[in-house]
Amino acid sequence: MSLTGALLSSRSGLSAAAARSQTVAGNIANAGTDGYVRRSTIVTSRQLGGGAGVEVTAIRRDADAALDRLHRLAMSRQATQDAASATLVPYAAMLGDPGDAGTLSADLTALQTAFDTLSVTPASSAQQLAVLDAAQGLAGQLNGLAGSLSQAAEDARGAVARDVDRANGLLSQIAALNDRLAADTSPTASRAALGDEMDAALDALAPLMAFSASTGADGRVTLRTSGGAALVEGGEAQTLAYTPATGRLTAGGVDITPSEAGSRGASEGSIAGRLTLLSDDMPRLQAQLDETARVLIEGFAAADASLAPGQQGLFVDTGGAGSDSQGLAGRIGVNASVDPERGGALWRIRDGAGAQTEGAASDGTQIAAFIGVLEADHTVDPAAGLGARLGLPALAAGVMTDAQGLKARAAEAASAAAVTTAAMGSSREAAEGVSIDDQLGQLLEIEQSYAANSKVLTSVAEMIDTLLAAV
């Protein structure tokens, strides 16, 4: 090797050592920075004048695409169950558990107990009042549960709208990052920083909706839903649109509503979790409440011999006879004809809601018919998902256990998914994060390389000085 070749070779080695040290210093400085992916300096050999040298060809992000994908999928799955569980918490809390006081089952039991006691002393005004209080308590319980479920659905729709707005912002950010990546093609530290920004945006999007991501040769990311609908292509992001009235979700006009036949949407993420709950589970829970109210209204009307055709019995639909059964639990009330505070008479508890005159004080015939309603099995709409025929106690228990079970399963699934998410996050951190010990070890190697190249440079300089002195 000539002196010139040795000089150029050592100088390239010093330049490479300087670049490597700068990369390692950046890694150490950002060891605690969230979303920072470890950098490596790529050095390759090349011919220099009369000898061989090295040059820095890239600053590489040591990202693991497979781990990134698995971690984001785990985040999506956890968010699905978290959203479902959180949505049901207020309603489940109001429902309570079988055996608790102040629940639907407890109020139904209180009504039966009041009627049983009244059957022993039909003339007792105090016991008639106890039946009225129990009936009003049961109707109020159904009203409250219907209101709580309705509010939970409204809150879920609001949360979906907020998540969609957030997702649109992230999709636009990803498209803008694609444009910046296309403009900055050199594999430098600035491009690596863009990669960190892209990862942060994708990580933020994953809990909202599951997606598939592919990276092109130019570094730009293409996003699609798990069903194949385009979300981001190059610098163009599709706009998500949510219509609360219909429950439909679209991306650039393409239907991506989860669990819908023919939809090309994502089945995981908080958006999917809430939309599935709104379309599949909450209508069933509402049907259960409405069926309980319907059985009470129709059962007591059928058992009441005092009623004329078209009249309502002890329990009434405050929306009027013939109203749609949907939402009936929110409208059920007690007939004013039995309530003294609304111009009625307590004796109608004993004689029937439509009785025009007071009957024999000791006659418990009508009371026995009412007790039969509480003890008999009734036909139940299959949409309630509780069976074809049920007694009122079993129906009330089913209302409670179905919702509580749904919430418990979602919470259990969320807990299991959280463990997976944490494990994947730890694996990703180990693969992509910064180990201070490793980086310090690299600094020692760089120091040795720098010293060796400096020694060559010094020796060449001394040789040149000696040659010049000899001339």
State the pLDDT at residue 53: 65
Establish how many alpha carbons lie within 13 A of residue 396's alpha carbon, considering only the half-sphere containing its beta carbon.
27
Reduced 3-state DSSP string for the chain:
CCHHHHHHHHHHHHHHHHHHHHHHHHHHHCCCCCCCCCEEEEEEEEEECCEEEEEEEEEEECCCHHHHHHHHHHHHHHHHHHHHHHHHHHHHHHHCCCCCCCCHHHHHHHHHHHHHHHHHCCCCHHHHHHHHHHHHHHHHHHHHHHHHHHHHHHHHHHHHHHHHHHHHHHHHHHHHHHHHHHHCCCCCHHHHHHHHHHHHHHHHHCCCCCEEEEECCCCCEEEEECCCCEEEECCEECCEEEECCCCEEEECCEECCCCCCCCCCCCCCHHHHHHHHHHHHHHHHHHHHHHHHHHHHHHHHHHCCCCCCCCCCCEEECCCCCCCCCCHHHCEEECHHHCHHHCCCCCHHHHCCCCCCCCCCCCCHHHHHHHHHHHCEEECCHHHCCCCEEEHHHHHHHHHHHHHHHHHHHHHHHHHHHHHHHHHHHHHHHHHCCCHHHHHHHHHHHHHHHHHHHHHHHHHHHHHHHHHHHC
Prediction pTM value: 0.86
State the pLDDT at residue 463: 73
How many Å apart are CA 226 and CA 258, to the nearest integer? 10
| Alpha-carbon torsion (226, 230, 231, 235), positive or negative | positive
State the pLDDT at residue 262: 65
State the pLDDT at residue 450: 67
Question: pLDDT tens per residue, the chain (471 residues)?
Answer: 566 656 666 676 677 778 778 888 887 888 888 889 988 887 787 766 556 667 777 788 888 889 999 999 999 999 999 999 999 999 999 998 877 888 999 999 999 999 999 999 999 999 999 999 999 999 999 999 999 999 999 999 999 999 999 999 999 999 999 999 888 877 778 888 898 999 999 999 999 999 999 988 888 999 999 888 999 999 999 999 999 999 999 999 999 998 776 677 778 999 999 999 999 999 999 999 999 999 999 999 999 999 999 899 999 999 865 557 789 999 999 999 999 999 999 999 999 999 999 999 999 999 999 999 999 999 999 989 998 999 999 999 999 999 999 999 999 999 999 999 999 999 998 888 888 888 888 788 877 776 776 766 677 676 777 777 776
| Alpha-carbon torsion (249, 250, 251, 256), positive or negative | positive
State the pLDDT at residue 3: 61
State the pLDDT at residue 184: 81
